[in-house]
A and B are shown apart, each in its own frame.
Chain A
Amino acid sequence: MEIKKSGSKGMSAMAKREERWAWLFILPPFIGFCLFMAYPIVFAVTASFSRWTGLNSLLGNMAGFRNYHDILTDPKFWKAMANTIIYMIGIPIGMILSILISMGINRLKSLGRIFTTLYYIPVVSSLVAVSILWAWVFNYDYGLLNSIIKALTGLHGPNWLGDEAMVKVAMIIFMTWKGLGGTIILYLAGLQNIPKDYYEAAKIDGATGLQLFRYITLPLISPITFYVLITSMIGGWQVFVEVQVMTGNGGTNYSAATIVFYLYQKAFAQNQLGYGCAVAVILAIIIFIITAINFSNQDKWVKTMD
C-alpha cells in the first residue's frame, strides 16, 4: 500500500485513473494465472518431496529426494523416457515432408489451396477419434494397413500395436499424419513471405534449382523451422492421448508408454500423487532446458529477413 502511494505520487489523476482501470481489466487472467498456474506449480514442487497419496498428510510425509531417487531408478521411467524421445524422430520427418509439400503447393498457386485443406483435415479432427481410427487401421487381423499389405504381397503384415518395435513405428506414422497439415500451413506462409526478386536475381546469376533451395529458401524459412522445432518438441514431451487410446496399458512391456503416460498412471491409477508431482517437475525441467538450448543455438542457424 505504502509503496503504491509513493510510486503514484508523480502521476496525474488521469494517469492514475487509467492505471486503475487497466489493472481491473487484466484482473481476471491474473487471478486465473495465480489460481491455476502459479499456485499449482508451487504446490507440485512441494508435493514432489512428499510420499503423498492424496489421503495422507502432504507435509507430514516429506521424504526429501526419495521420490526423485525412486523415479530415476525405475526402469519403467527410463523406458517411457526412451519412447518419448524415439517418437520425436517424427519431428524431422514431418518437417522435411512439410517443406516439400508446401513448396509444391506454393508452386501450384491457387490450385494448391485444395491441397492445403485436405492436408489440414487431420489437424482439426479430434485426437481421440483419429486415435481410435488409427488403432483400427493398425489392427493386426482386420485393419486397413494389413489388408493392403496382404493384397499387395500376399503376406500377413506386422502386429503394429502389439509388437514392441513396430508400435513405435506405428505411433510415429500416426503423429506425422496428425501434425503434418499444421506444419505445412506455417511453411506455406513462410514461403509466401520470400520476395520473388531474390529468386529472379539468383537465376540471372545462373543458380540451379537446388542452389536456390539451399541458399535462399532454406535460410529464409529458418524462423519457421525454429518455431516448428520449439513447439513440436514441447508438444513431443507431452504425448499421452494417442498412447492411452491406441494401446490402453502402454503397449507390450511398456513399449509404447510416454513420460506423461507414466505420470498419469502413477498419479491417477496408483494414487501416488507426490511421486507424480516429482515426475511432473522432472518433465518441466527437461522441457525448460531443451527450450533454452534451442533458443541459445538459434543464432547459429536461424536467419531473419531484415
Chain B
Amino acid sequence: MSDRVIDRKELLKRAKKGHRTKKQKAGDVIVFVLLALGAVTMVFPLIYMVATSFMTKNQILSGKLTILPDPILIGKYSEVLSKGSFINGILNTMKVEIPVLFFGGFTSSLAAFAFAKMRFRGKDTFFMALLATIMIPFAVVMIPQYVLFTKMGWTNSLLPLIVPGCFGNVSIIFFLRQNLYSIPTELMEAAKLDGCSYFGVYWRIFLPLMKGALGTQLILWFMGIWNDYLAPVIFLRNEDKWTLQVVIKSFNSYYAIQSDYALIMAASVISIIPTLILFFCFQKVIVQSVAISGIK
C-alpha cells in the first residue's frame, strides 16, 4: 500500500519536472521571451514618463527618439513639490482618505457581520437592494448628488467626498460577507452563551477574524479614493479643496501650453508612487482578493 503511494508520488514528480521534453523546454523559452516583450511594452510608457520628468525642455522637444535624460535634471520634482497647490492636493486627498477608511471600514464590516451571521427579517431584500447599486453607474446619480450637496452648502468643502463613504461601501460589504461565511457561526452562539453582546461578538471575535480581508479591501479602497477624479471634479467648487488628481489635471491643462512636459510628468510620477508602493508591498493579497471577486 505504502509502496504504491510512493510510486505514484514519484510518477507525479516526473510528470511535473523530469518529464519535460526538449520541445516543451523550447516552448517555455519562447513563451518567456514573448511575455517579456509584452511586459516591456506595458511598462515602457511608464519608464518613459519617469525619463521625461528628468529631461530638459530642449531634449524633450528635439523630436528625436531619446530615452535617457542627458543631462539629468531633478529640478522639476522640487518645483512640483514647492507648488502650494500640489501639496495642498495631497493633503486634501488624505483628509478624505482617513475618515472614509476609518468610518467606512467600520460601518462596512459591521454590516457585513450582520448580513453574514445574524438573523433578521428583510435580510435578503436589503442585501439585494445594496448589491444592485453596484450596477448603477455613478453618472446616473451624480447630477442629483451634486444638487443635494450644493443645497447643503457642502460644495465648498470636502464633505461630498467624505460623507457618502462613511456610510459604508457595498463591494466591501459583499466581499467581507463572503469571507465571513467561511468562519463557523458556532463561535457566535458560544459567545452569546457567555453573555457577550452582539456588538461584542463583532468587535471581539469577528472583527479580529476578518482583519486580513478588511485590510486588503481598505488598501483597494485607499487606491480608489486616491485615484478618483470624476467625483472631486464635479463636487469641489473651491480650488483650495481640490484633491490631488484634480490638481494634476489642472497642471496638465496649464503647463502643456508652455510645453513644460517635464513638470507635468514629474507631478504624474509623484501621484502614482503611493499606489505603486502599496501594490508592491501587498501584491499577493491584492491579486488574491481581486481574483476571488471574479470567481464568486
Does A pair with B? yes
Q: Which residues of B contact A57 (CB under 8 A)?
A: none
Look across to chain A and name the residue whose beta carbon is closest to the beta carbon of B141: A40
Q: How far is the CA of A231 from the CA of B130 in the complex (A)?
A: 17
Q: Which residues of B contact A144 (CB under 8 A)?
A: 45, 48, 65
Look across to chain A and name the residue whose beta carbon is closest to the beta carbon of B270: A129
Interface of A is mostly: helix
Interface segment out of the listed B73-81, B143-151, B178-186, B210-218: B143-151
Does residue B209 face the partner (Cβ distance < 8 Å to A)? no
Q: Which residues of B contact A216 (CB under 8 A)?
A: none
Does residue A31 face the partner (Cβ distance < 8 Å to B)? yes
> Which listed residue (A29, A41, A124, A136) contacts B140, Cβ 8 A?
A41
Interface residues of A in 223-237 (CB under 8 A from B): 223-224, 227-228, 234, 237
B83, chain A: closest CB distance, angstroms: 16
Do residues B144 and A277 form an inter-chain contact, with CB atoms below 8 A? yes
Do residues B136 and A37 form an inter-chain contact, with CB atoms below 8 A? yes
Does residue B22 face the partner (Cβ distance < 8 Å to A)? no
Specify which of B111, B118, B137 lies most central, judged by the most chain A CB atoms within 10 Å of its CB. Answer: B137
Q: How many residues of A contact B (CB 8 A)?
A: 98
Q: Which residues of B contact A240 (CB under 8 A)?
A: 139, 230
Interface bracket on B:
35 or more
Q: How far is the CA of A23 from the CA of B168 in the complex (A)?
A: 15
Q: Which residues of B contact A268 (CB under 8 A)?
A: 146, 234
A89, chain B: closest CB distance, angstroms: 19
Look across to chain A and name the residue whose beta carbon is closest to the beta carbon of B244: A126
> Which listed residue (A23, A36, A186, A227) contacts B145, Cβ 8 A?
A36
Do residues B135 and A287 form an inter-chain contact, with CB atoms below 8 A? yes
Q: Which residues of B contact A15 (CB under 8 A)?
A: 119
Report A136-170 CB contacts with B as 1/0, cut-off 8 Å. Answer: 11000110100110110000000000000000000
Does residue A270 face the partner (Cβ distance < 8 Å to B)? no
Do residues A37 and B45 form an inter-chain contact, with CB atoms below 8 A? no
Q: Which residues of A contact B39 (CB under 8 A)?
A: 114-115, 118-119
Does residue A267 face the partner (Cβ distance < 8 Å to B)? yes
Interface residues of B in 135-170 (CB under 8 A from A): 135-148, 150, 164, 166-168, 170
Does residue A110 face the partner (Cβ distance < 8 Å to B)? no
Do residues B143 and A112 form an inter-chain contact, with CB atoms below 8 A? no
Do residues B139 and A119 form an inter-chain contact, with CB atoms below 8 A? no
Q: A104-B31, A107-B31, A108-B28 are in contact. Are A234 and B271 (CB under 8 A)?
A: no
Do residues A260 and B139 form an inter-chain contact, with CB atoms below 8 A? yes
Q: How far is the CA of A107 from the CA of B63 in the complex (A)?
A: 41
Q: How far is the CA of A136 from the CA of B197 in the complex (A)?
A: 58
Report B220-259 CB contacts with A as 1/0, cut-off 8 Å. Answer: 0001001101100010000000000100110011001000
Does residue A68 face the partner (Cβ distance < 8 Å to B)? no
Q: A240-B230, A277-B143, A280-B140 are in contact. Are A124 and B275 (CB under 8 A)?
A: yes
Q: How far is the CA of A120 from the CA of B282 in the complex (A)?
A: 13
A178, chain B: closest CB distance, angstroms: 10
B199, chain A: closest CB distance, angstroms: 7
Do residues B126 and A119 form an inter-chain contact, with CB atoms below 8 A? no
A40, chain B: closest CB distance, angstroms: 4
Q: A108-B35, A126-B272, A136-B264 are in contact. Are A7 and B121 (CB under 8 A)?
A: yes
Look across to chain A and name the residue whose beta carbon is closest to the beta carbon of B66: A147
Does residue A284 face the partner (Cβ distance < 8 Å to B)? yes
Q: A127-B229, A147-B64 are in contact. Are A119 and B272 (CB under 8 A)?
A: no
15 new A-B contacts, CB < 8 A, other than A35-B164, A115-B35, A136-B265, are A22-B118, A26-B115, A29-B173, A39-B144, A44-B141, A104-B34, A130-B268, A132-B248, A133-B268, A134-B45, A142-B261, A193-B295, A238-B139, A263-B139, A288-B135
Which residues of A line the B interface, CB within 8 A?
7, 15, 18-19, 21-23, 25-26, 28-33, 35-37, 39-41, 43-44, 47, 54, 101, 104-105, 107-108, 111-112, 114-122, 124-130, 132-137, 141-142, 144, 147-148, 150-151, 177, 180-182, 185-186, 188-190, 193, 200, 223-224, 227-228, 234, 237-238, 240-241, 245, 248, 260, 263-264, 267-268, 273, 276-277, 280-281, 283-284, 287-288, 291
Which 6 pairs show the lowest CB-CB distances between chains A and B?
A32-B167, A189-B291, A40-B144, A25-B114, A40-B141, A29-B168
Which residues of B line the A interface, CB within 8 A?
15, 27-28, 31-32, 34-36, 38-39, 42-43, 45-46, 48-49, 52, 60-65, 107-108, 110-111, 113-115, 118-121, 123, 126, 129-130, 133, 135-148, 150, 164, 166-168, 170, 173, 197-199, 202, 223, 226-227, 229-230, 234, 245, 248-249, 252-253, 256, 261, 264-265, 268-269, 271-272, 275-276, 278-280, 283, 287, 290-292, 294-295
